[in-house]
A and B are shown apart, each in its own frame.
Chain A
Amino acid sequence: AQSVSQHNHHVILSEAASLELGCNYSYGGTVNLFWYVQYPGQHLQLLLKYFSGDPLVKGIKGFEAEFIKSKFSFNLRKPSVQWSDTAEYFCAVEGGNQFYFGTGTSLTVIP
């Protein structure tokens, strides 16, 4: 069965710390990969996406993610987080016209 695993449920960081959120998926075919962000009280927004080509993709607000096919992973990174990055982050995999979302990681950045 298709699944998406996010290893960190809650992450608390100080401003300027580096961030890495793990995402692993299981899917038998070709996939497209996404990270979405949900700021408090808002709907989900796309951070970045990978369809093909360079496995290191850059998104908005300084976020990037690396697709490692051999590890079925698509980890999200940011070198220096800000208080405004406090949000919930969802990894998603698209395959066969369906999206599969991870359970989300709640990030709190302390000023």
Chain B
Amino acid sequence: EAQVTQNPRYLITVTGKKLTVTCSQNMNHEYMSWYRQDPGLGLRQIYYSMNVEVTDKGDVPEGYKVSRKEKRNFPLILESPSPNQTSLYFCASSPRGPTNEKLFFGSGTQLSVL
């Protein structure tokens, strides 16, 4: 089944403890991106990647890192999480980039930073 898989679905952590949220797609998509969803703010793009080893900042990249060593994986790394990073995170992918293509979304990761 074609899908975008995020793990974990729920994560509670403490301030400063490094964490990684994984994202994997099995559709051979070139484009992948990360969003955070906050009440009243909608979805905001954190980072995106047009292809392997190509990543770019979105609207809210501060406090996050990403890597794209393989086409299928696009992990989101929080080196030193803070409470303001408590949010619902979505990974998404599309075949060749967002232009003229729809995004396929993962199921989301609810992160709470205490």
Contact = CB atoms under 8 A, between A and B. Distances in A.
B74 interface: no
Contact of B97 (A97, A100, A102): A97
Nearest to B58: A98
Contacts, number: 58
Interface residues of A, number: 24
Interface of B: 33, 35, 40-45, 48, 50, 56, 58-59, 90, 92, 97-100, 102-103, 105-108
12 contacts: A44-B103, A51-B100, A94-B98, A94-B99, A97-B56, A98-B45, A99-B45, A99-B98, A100-B45, A100-B59, A101-B35, A101-B43
Interface of A: 4, 6, 9, 32, 34, 36, 42-46, 49, 51, 90, 92, 94, 97-104
